[in-house]
Structure formats: C-alpha cells, structure tokens
C-alpha cells in the first residue's frame, strides 16, 4: 500500500497554468516556462494592473550590441527570486497587484526607421486599457518611444533615471541613438527636466538640458537615503517615469552591458534608493541595457530582474 504523501502537489509552468494573476507560488527555479516572475502570459489585460513587456531592440547602441537578448535573460534570472515575497519589502506586490507578462514587443528589424512608432503603438495599446507598463529592454533608446506613449496619456512627466550616462547629447531629427533619446524627449516636451533627476552619472556631457544630476560621487558620499529624499523633493507629486539603465551599477556587479563605466552604484545603493522612494507618483517603468553575452554567471540579469521587481514594489506602494 502506498504511503499518503504530506507534500502539497506543485503545479509547474505558472506562466501558463496559474488561474489567478495575484499571489506568489513557488516553482522550481531550474525548470518551467520562463515568464517574468512566473506571471501568466497573456495579451488579455482585462483586470490587469501591470503588464510586463519585453522590448528586444538593440539597433541604437554606440558600443557593444546584444541587449536585444536582455528581456529573455531577465525573465530567466527572475525565476531565482520568484518563489518568495521580495525582501525586505513589507508587502508582496503580487498580493496587491494583478501582474501579467504581456510577452515581447513585435517589430520588423529590417525596417529600423519604423521601429520607434511600432514600440510606441504597442505601449499605447497597453496604456489604453488603464494597465501600467513595466518594460524590459533592449537598449536605452526604447525609453524614448515608451515615454511618448506615457506622455500622451499622462502629460509631460518627471523622469527618474539611473544611469552612467545622461543620454542628452545633441542629435538631429529622426536619428535612433541610445545616447541621445532624452535630447529628443526634452525637445518633444515629453519630460520636464527641471522636475527630473539623473542618478549615478559618471561621464561628461556639456549640455545636461536642465536635468538635476546626482552623480555617482554624490551617491557614494551621501548615501542612498539622502539621494532618495533629494529625488522626492525634485519630482514632488508629479507623475513620474522611472528608467533604470543597468550600467548605473558598478561593472563588477553588472558586467553584462554595452557601455560599462567603472565607479558605479552597488546593487545595495540602487535598491536602498528605490526602497526609500516610496511616495513618488510612479506611472511607468523600464529596465534596460542588459546584454547577456558579456554577463558572468547571469549576475547582470539577476540584478535587473531584482530591480524590476523592486520597481513593482514601489509601484504597489503608490497604487496597490
């Protein structure tokens, strides 16, 4: 006679088998379909609070390519942290928010001039359902069409940008470049630089376009809590878009990126800053520039997945 088991049967492949978009369910990190944080794959956003969308684009890079593979790598790395509520946040965002994985943004790589509008259109389709969007890139240019879609819905935005570079170098109309997209965004009136802040900067740019800059040295000297308080004073209660270029981190912690710069933030500094930003009126988010070909033991992808999950916690604190 078989013994009665006291082990609760597990249902694998939560990306397809989960029946609720709420809650955290443990699944073997080494197996199963790799959605972001084991959320359900769907294009049906009825009832969804947040959609995760990959943007596998890297045709705008100025150095090493490969960020088109970032969304896949971040989803895979997220399986290592999807089994439990995120520490040390007091609440599990998936108990407060219905979060789904919307899959990847689709576009024709052979017609690069059309891609910005294709990205913006797919973001618009998500936002039109009153579902918030957390995007996973892709190189940092993707933030520009994403900002277009968000600004159309919410009006000009405050921007909080974690990055090694300001991405405000002057450009010409119509160019696609991951180092100039914020020059375009300011000229288009998508963001208000006076109510925006760039964190972790450690490269020269003669024209910051009015953005408030908290460089890496200031972070190291004053610490993440002081930085978070300064961010909150700058953005106030304005609707805010949060973008995190993974090269904001020190390359020792995030080598898998296209334009690494030494002297960056530690993962602790980045996470602690986000944790202390509760109160920011967050309306949209992205994590970009993960290039897995240059990664070591998936530590860059794991950092990006964890930071993206922290963003969900931050969003839940404001909207849950």
pLDDT one-digit tens code per residue, 253-263 = 999 999 999 99
C-alpha distance from residue 235 to each of 100, 128, 162, 197, 232 (Å): 28, 25, 14, 8, 5
The mean pLDDT value of the chain amounts to 94
Which residues, 6 or more positions from 226, have their beta carbon under 8 angstroms from its beta carbon?
A: none
Which residues, 6 or more positions from 42, have their beta carbon under 8 angstroms from its beta carbon?
A: 48, 100, 101, 102
DSSP 213: E
**Residue 156: Cβ within 10 Å count:** 18
C-alpha distance from residue 210 to each of 17, 148, 300 (Å): 48, 19, 31
Q: Identify whether the C-beta of residue 25 lies closer than 8 Å to the C-beta of residue 18.
A: yes
**Residue 80: Cβ within 10 Å count:** 14
Q: What are phi and psi of 89, to 5 degrees?
A: -60, 145
Smallest CA-to-CA distance from 288 within 170, 119, 113 is with 119
Q: Identify whether the C-beta of residue 241 lies closer than 8 Å to the C-beta of residue 283.
A: yes
Torsion from C-alpha of 31, 34, 35, 40, nearest 10 degrees: -40
Res. 10: pLDDT tops 80: no
**Sign, CA torsion 286/71/51/128:** positive
pLDDT in tens, 235-289: 999 999 999 999 999 999 999 999 999 999 999 999 999 999 999 999 999 999 9
Q: What are phi and psi of 252, to 5 degrees?
A: -60, -30
Q: Which CATH number fits domain 37-319: 3.30.428.10, 3.40.50.300, 3.40.220.10, 3.40.800.10?
A: 3.40.800.10
Maximal C-alpha separation, the chain:
78
- Say how far apart CA 211 and CA 51 lie, in whole Å: 29
pLDDT in tens, 147-172: 999 999 999 999 999 999 999 998 99
Annotated binding site for Mn(2+): 140, 163, 165, 167, 245, 247
Place of tokens 């849950």: 320
- Say how far apart CA 253 and CA 249 lie, in whole Å: 7
Which residue did the predictor score with more confidence, 12 or 292? 292
Place of tokens 């898998």: 256
- Residue 314: predicted pLDDT: 97
- Say how far apart CA 320 and CA 311 lie, in whole Å: 13
pLDDT in tens, 287-302: 999 999 999 999 999 9
Smallest CA-to-CA distance from 285 within 55, 106, 20, 70 is with 55
- Residue 286: predicted pLDDT: 98
Annotated binding site: 140, 163, 165, 167, 245, 247
Domain map (residue ranges) of the chain: 37-319
- Say how far apart CA 137 and CA 144 lie, in whole Å: 12
- Say how far apart CA 121 and CA 104 lie, in whole Å: 13
- Residue 25: predicted pLDDT: 87
pTM of the full predicted structure? 0.94
**Residue 63: Cβ within 10 Å count:** 12
Sort 111 into a burial class: Cβ within 10 Å, 0-12 / 13-18 / 19+.
exposed
């Amino acid at each position: 006679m078989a013994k009665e088991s006291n082990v609760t049967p597990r249902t694998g492949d939560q990306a397809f088998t989960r029946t609720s978009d709420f809650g955290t369910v443990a699944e073997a990190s080494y197996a199963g379909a790799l959605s972001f944080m084991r959320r359900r794959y769907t294009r049906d956003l009825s009832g969804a609070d947040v959609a995760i969308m990959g943007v596998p684009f890297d045709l705008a890079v100025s150095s090493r390519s490969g960020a088109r593979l970032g969304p896949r790598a971040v989803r895979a790395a997220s399986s290592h942290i999807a089994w439990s509520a995120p520490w040390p946040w007091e609440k599990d965002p998936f108990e407060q928010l219905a979060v789904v994985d919307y899959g990847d943004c689709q576009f024709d790589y052979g017609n690069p001039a059309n891609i910005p509008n294709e990205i913006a259109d797919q973001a618009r389709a998500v936002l039109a359902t009153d579902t918030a969007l957390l995007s996973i890139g892709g190189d940092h240019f993707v933030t520009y069409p994403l900002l277009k879609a968000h600004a159309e819905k919410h009006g000009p935005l405050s921007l909080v940008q974690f990055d090694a570079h300001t991405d405000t170098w002057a450009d010409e109309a119509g160019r696609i470049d991951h180092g100039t997209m914020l020059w375009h965004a300011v000229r288009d009136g998508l963001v208000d630089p006076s109510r925006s802040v760039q964190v972790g900067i450690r490269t020269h740019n003669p024209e910051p376009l009015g953005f408030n800059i908290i460089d890496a040295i200031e972070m190291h000297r004053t610490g993440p809590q002081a930085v978070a308080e300064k961010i909150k004073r700058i953005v106030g209660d304005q609707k805010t878009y949060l973008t995190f270029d993974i090269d904001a981190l020190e390359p020792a912690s995030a080598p898998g990126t296209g334009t690494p710069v030494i002297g960056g933030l530690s993962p602790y500094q980045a996470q602690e800053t986000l944790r202390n930003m509760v109160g920011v009126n967050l309306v949209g988010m992205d994590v970009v520039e993960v290039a897995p070909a240059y990664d070591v033991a998936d530590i860059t992808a794991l950092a990006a997945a964890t930071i993206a999950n922290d963003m969900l916690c931050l969003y839940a604190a404001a909207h849950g």
